[in-house]
């Protein structure tokens, strides 16, 4: 199981890295804009995440057409050792074409903004590392996101030799995270603030305070 942190905000990421249960960091242009990070600054930010213990980092292409996507991917990949960077590409017609070429060259690809089970199946058919559906956004649009993701998981599981994992994004609560674990998805990306919530259970902290107080009273 791969747990990713979904953020381009280094100060936020530093509150969670390094951590033994975190596999890596995912980003996209929206997260870059939110964090005030320019394209030119992204490779350094992601390298810093690797220095902090991330095993893999993910960066998204910026272009709409396949040639532009391939050029973006080549530029991003030039800053990393093989295997460190997973290239995220929207699961559009152009994105499938570009991603298939990258996979043929041995690059790990995430097809992102996956909204239908057939798209997840394409990812497994073509040997993508990940297919990324957005649970929260599916539910925003009135769809039963968990049921749809369960269908995607079943299709991906039919092709175990592809190695493709669902990387579920747009997770907004502990309940959503737990439901996805129960579905057996291969990867989840969550915002650092939700990771902190998962790590710091209030009842565990209260129990620890009790133990510490009692430890101080011991002879």
Q: Which residues are catalytically annotated?
A: 88
Determine if 172 is a binding residue for ligand E4P (CB under 6 A). yes
* CB of residue 44 to ligand E4P, shortest distance in Å: 20
Here's the x/- map for ligand E4P, 37-66, by CB under 6 A: it reads as: ------------------------------
Q: In angstroms, give the least distance from the CB of 34 to ligand E4P.
A: 9
**Rounded Cα–Cα distance for residues 21 and 115 (Å):** 27
* CA gap 108, 146 in Å, rounded: 26
Task: Note whether 137 binds ligand E4P by CB under 6 A.
Answer: yes
Instruction: Pinpoint the alpha helices (H) of 53-187.
Output: 66-77, 93-104, 117-126, 135-140, 145-157, 174-183
Q: Which residue is nearest to ligand E4P (CB)?
A: 169
Q: Torsion angle, CA of 34/142/166/160, rounded to 10 degrees? A: -170
Taking contact as CB under 6 A, which single stretch among the options 69-77, 94-102, 134-142, 147-155 is the one that binds ligand E4P?
Answer: 134-142
- CA 212, 193, 47, 134 torsion: positive or negative? positive
Type and span of the H or E element at 35? helix 29-35
We find the least distance from the C-beta atom of residue 182 to ligand E4P, in angstroms, to be 20
Q: Determine, following the binding rule CB under 6 A, whether residue 166 of this chain makes contact with ligand E4P.
A: no
Distances (CA, A) of 3 to 35, 68, 73: 21, 29, 23
Identify which of residues 181 and 207 has a Cβ nearer to ligand E4P in the complex: 181
**Residue numbers at the binding site for ligand E4P (CB under 6 A):** 6, 28, 31, 112, 134, 136-137, 169-170, 172
């Amino acid at each position: 199981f791969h747990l990713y942190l979904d953020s381009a905000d280094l100060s936020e990421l530093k509150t969670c890295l390094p951590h033994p249960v975190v596999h890596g960091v995912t980003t996209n242009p929206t997260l870059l804009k939110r964090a005030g990070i320019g394209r030119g600054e992204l490779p350094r930010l992601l390298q810093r995440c690797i220095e902090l213990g991330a095993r893999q980092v993910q960066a998204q292409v910026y272009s709409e057409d396949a040639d532009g996507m391939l050029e973006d991917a080549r530029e991003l990949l030039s800053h990393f050792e093989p295997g460190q960077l997973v290239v995220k590409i929207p699961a559009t017609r152009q994105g499938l074409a570009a991603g298939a070429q990258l996979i043929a060259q041995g690059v790990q690809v995430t097809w992102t903004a996956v909204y239908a089970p057939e798209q997840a199946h394409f990812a497994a058919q073509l040997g993508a590392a990940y297919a990324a559906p957005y649970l929260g956004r599916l539910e925003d649009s009135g769809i039963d996101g968990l049921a749809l993701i369960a269908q995607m998981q079943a299709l991906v599981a039919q092709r175990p030799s592809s190695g493709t994992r669902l990387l579920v994004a747009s997770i907004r609560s502990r309940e959503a995270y737990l439901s996805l674990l129960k579905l057996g998805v291969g990867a989840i990306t969550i915002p650092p603030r939700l990771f902190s919530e998962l790590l710091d259970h209030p009842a565990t902290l209260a129990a620890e305070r009790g133990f510490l107080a009692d430890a101080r009273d011991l002879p």
